[in-house]
């Protein structure tokens, strides 16, 4: 079987690119951020997502890396709705607290918001976080729980867009 010069050059080029990859062995995964590891004494909630988790101290300040809790969008209607999961938080002690902030950014109606937290037995609680149209913030008991932040909200009538974090 005759090979053209072009075919031989392509085979040689492919071999040159692939050979070092085969000789290098399997790729090693990057080490996870040790500050996002879940300690043994922490209760893990079903909403916890280790891929975007950050560990916080008792005051809710991030330990080890920047807190990935940025604003999330939520639509409130005249029926109680629960948001999708936000960023995941790993509480460092039973005294850990986290801050939620929110504001209405769409619509002409007021909205009421409740924020997810945990009681002393690591059971989910929903704390009233204010009603209205302006910026609101609330500090919530979190404890030594690994879970994702979430809010619930509703309007009296109409639709309102909410940014929260």
CB 38 within 8 A of CB 51: no
Each residue's pLDDT tens digit, 25-62: 444 334 444 455 888 889 999 999 998 888 888 888 88
2 pLDDT tier (thresholds 50, 70, 90): low
Domains and CATH numbers, the chain: 35-164 (2.60.120)
For 153, which DSSP code?
A: E
CB 103 within 8 A of CB 114: no
CB 129 within 8 A of CB 138: yes
Each residue's pLDDT tens digit, 62-91: 887 665 677 788 899 999 999 999 889 999
Left, alpha or beta for 64 (phi > 0: left; psi -120 to 50: alpha)?
Answer: left
pTM greater than 0.85 (yes/no): no
Distances (CA, A) of 17 to 6, 9, 27, 48, 128: 17, 12, 16, 41, 60
The region of weakest confidence among 7-11, 22-26, 33-37, 110-114 is 22-26
Angle at 139 between CA 76 and CA 58, to 5 degrees: 135
């Amino acid at each position: 079987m005759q090979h053209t010069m072009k075919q031989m050059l392509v085979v040689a080029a492919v071999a040159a690119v692939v050979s070092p990859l085969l000789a290098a062995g399997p790729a090693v995964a990057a080490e996870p951020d040790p500050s996002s590891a879940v300690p043994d004494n922490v209760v893990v909630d079903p909403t916890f997502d280790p891929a975007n988790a950050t560990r916080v101290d008792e005051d809710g300040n991030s330990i080890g890396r920047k807190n990935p809790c940025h604003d999330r969008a939520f639509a409130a209607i005249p029926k109680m709705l629960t948001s999708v999961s936000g960023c995941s938080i790993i509480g460092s002690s039973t005294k850990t607290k986290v801050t939620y902030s929110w504001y209405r950014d769409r619509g002409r109606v007021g909205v009421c918001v409740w924020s997810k937290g945990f009681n002393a037995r690591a059971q989910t609680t929903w704390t009233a976080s204010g009603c209205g149209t302006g910026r609101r913030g609330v500090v919530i008991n979190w404890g030594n729980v690994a879970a994702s932040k979430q809010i619930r909200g509703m309007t009296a009538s109409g639709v309102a867009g909410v940014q929260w974090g």
